[in-house]
Amino acid sequence: MTLEPIAVTAAALRTALGNSRSEVLRRALDGERALANSAALEGAGTSDRTFAASGASNGADRAEDLLARALADALAEAGVESPDRLRDRRTHIVVGTTLHGMRHLREFLRGGPAKGAGLLTAGSVLSIAADRCGLRAAGVTISTACASGITAIGIACDLLRAGDADLVLAGGYDPVSEFSHAGFDSLRLLASDAPRPFAQDRDGMRTGEGAAILALERERDARTRGATVLARVAAVAESSDAFHLTQPHPDGDGAAAAIAEAISRGGDPDLIVAHATGTDANDLSEYRAYERAFDDRLSSIPVTAPKSALGHTLGAAGAVDAALCIAMAESGRIMPTMTRDCDLDRDSFPHLALVTKPMSCTLSRTLNLALGFGGSNAALLLDHRGAAPPGSHAARTPARSSVPRFEIPPDHESPADEILITGVSAIVPGACAAGESIADMPALVSGDVDDSLLAPLVDARAARRIACVSRLVRAAVRLAIDDASLPADLLTRVHAICATQHSAIGYSLDAYREVIEGGLGGGNPLLFAESVPNVPGAQCSLAFGIRGPAISVIGSRSAFVEALMIARARMIARGVERVIVVAAEERHPRLDEVLVAWRLAKNGDAMSAAGAVAFVLERADAARARGARSLAQLGAVSWLAPATRHWRRIVDAGRELLAASIGRVDAPARPGPLGRLERRMLGERLGETLGAELHAAGPALLAARRIARRESGTVLALDSFGAVALADFRALAAEAPHSRALQESRSR
């Protein structure tokens, strides 16, 4: 099966070195660094320097400001300065981050109003940023830690190739913050001065900030509308180390696998843009990955390390480097690494062709790598052949592309026309169940899930110091894969997608409180590592040895349906055989306080609950080949952002989506404005509801109950920032196992 070419028609960039890719490249070629004291870093002293972007808000809304500016820049370059021009095009936003609105949490913990804390969610940041540039588009935020920017680009390509979108604005953002600065300091990863990747005296990284947004379209659509094609996405490849929460695999196993997959699809690059944080373990691991992927070819490929000039932009890093790849291809010049040639550690990196001075070069293909906490790895290969030069305009008639279509591996030769659910589990306060027994679970009540309920499902030593949400994910996935009778050898190759609105909120609050009390030197390494929002996905990978991508969809009440959409797109566009989707939420008293402040609940109402729900999704041919029992079929997944947050428009948007849904519709429908909107949308079609707020896991629990009862239906997820999402599930008749092997595995 061939993959349709995806064109990059804009590459907006905002970093400490400038607010466009050309400006950033020019200043980097001149040898500039922007490491300095900055008022943007809360609580900074004279020695606390960072790479802060210029012109962004110094307030709690710095993330929204950075992202809004980058989105507006990308729209302008793509030729859609007026969002009204997007009305007839299905437009999505997919962004990655590690900090989302964490700066809002600072004000709350320092005595600010609880309503302000509600703005820390990634859904809030994205909604506000899109609103500021007049953009109404369905948006999703993901996290694979510092690999998030490339992961977002990969998801965008999936949505385009699966036919779920016509234009996707994809990339990443992260502001500077005392939270991340103190966290990296607690892990002893901050450099004494500017970072020196691959140097003999390298001693760490420095936090920076940035936002980078690429406009992505199917190439035939871009040509038809006369857009300028800056580059093509030749390959996006992702993997997990399944090794450690904060340390990379010492031999670069996962990174080497991602690189090898990327170059097998798109060919060797003319330039490698390295992740290269300047920490000892990261640089060694990354170099070994390059050696394994390129062998004796490595010494002939130039390598540059932008973080030496820009700092580590965290969730934006992969997208920042992608924009720089386009800038370097346009100019024919490679930016240097700010490590002097005489300082290069040649004993450790003998075959590294590090660019330490500006270099002229014609670039056909570039590869950039991003590595994140939890063992997330992502490689992006861009093809620059035939791209229009800067300032030119493509013909305004459809043009037949002479660019070769990129091949996917031969073991993925057919699309996923039919997606089956072969395992399901649910864990709520006081109960856990899998498969059909979920139908007999008691009604949801507010409260925590007692650890005694999880103990039989989670390794005690591994779970001793991990966050509540991590324990819930591990337990729910264990139940679901057992219910699906999924063998361990297949687990290593699955994709895992974890949905959560608040992730490890307890650890995040505790970690930030220690920073406030102890200053920038008061970070707690244990709390910080578990508070990164991709921790549910990372813990899923670590617990079950998953070497495929492990992604967290974060920050919205509709995250579960967004995760289903991503899973479906991957199975159709990439031929992925199996995806585990899990939704999980902690309960915390401060969350209830925020719900009341936003009038989403009243004091005395049943408040929030902790819980997790997991699904095993399989392509029909893969499920039948192993004789799996099928519980249900995943039908349509719909996702829409209304033109306004006004309730009438939200109701109209919901009803528009609901027109094609199946029968009755289950919805959380709690007291408060969201419940009222859900009831207005559904009327007599309202099916089952919940008795407590389970956030992103709420729609997942409703879906699990419907599947357990073998009933067809639709689940509605409505986010407080305006997103409306629906997922259809089609019941399948109960069936006997298809193989003796399945019966034997169940008896074991």
Six token digits for residue 230: 């800056």
Tokens 């970093």 -> residue: 15
CA distance 370 to 377: 6
CA distance 235 to 213: 18
State yes or no: is 468 an active-site residue: no
Catalytic residue from among 146, 157, 432, 540: 146
Q: Which of 470, 504, 555, 469 is nearest to 96 (CA)?
A: 555
CA distance 55 to 524: 31
Six token digits for residue 86: 């997007």
Instruction: Indicate the residue type of 305.
Output: A
- Strand pairing category for 2-3 and 406-407: antiparallel
Six token digits for residue 673: 């404005």
SS3 state of residue 627: coil
What are phi and psi for residue 163, nearest 5 degrees? 80, 20
Catalytic residue from among 275, 384, 495, 695: 275
Tell me how far the alpha carbon of residue 734 is from its chain's centroid.
35
178-186 vs 505-518: helix crossing angle, rounded to 10: 90
CA distance 723 to 556: 9
Q: Which of 145, 277, 120 is nearest to 598 (CA)?
A: 120
The angle at the Cα of 311, spanning 156 to 342, to the nearest 5 degrees, equals 120
Burial class (CB in 10 A: 0-12, 13-18, 19+), 114: middle
State yes or no: is 351 an active-site residue: no
What is the DSSP code (8-state) at residue 82?
S
Six token digits for residue 592: 């209830």
Cα–Cα distances (Å) from 479 to 484, 614, 694, in that order, read 9, 8, 19
In 118-256, the DSSP E strands lie at 138-143, 167-174, 210-218, 231-240
CA distance 458 to 635: 32
- Strand pairing category for 50-51 and 35-36: antiparallel
Catalytic residue from among 249, 312, 502, 695: 312
The angle at the Cα of 111, spanning 108 to 112, to the nearest 5 degrees, equals 50
Instruction: Indicate the residue type of 455.
Output: A
Cα–Cα distances (Å) from 718 to 272, 478, 564, 642, 699, in that order, read 42, 28, 15, 11, 9
The answer to whether the beta carbons of residues 734 and 709 sit under 8 Å apart is no
CA distance 198 to 200: 7
Q: What is the dihedral of CA 9, 641, 66, 70, to 10 degrees?
A: 10
The angle at the Cα of 252, spanning 248 to 257, to the nearest 5 degrees, equals 120
SS3 state of residue 480: helix
Query: In the chain, what is the straight-line distance between the N-terminal and C-terminal CA atoms, in Å?
Result: 38
CA distance 735 to 731: 12
Q: Which of 295, 160, 745 is nearest to 487 (CA)?
A: 745
Q: Which of 521, 503, 594 is nearest to 109 (CA)?
A: 594
Q: Which residues are catalytic?
A: 146, 275, 312
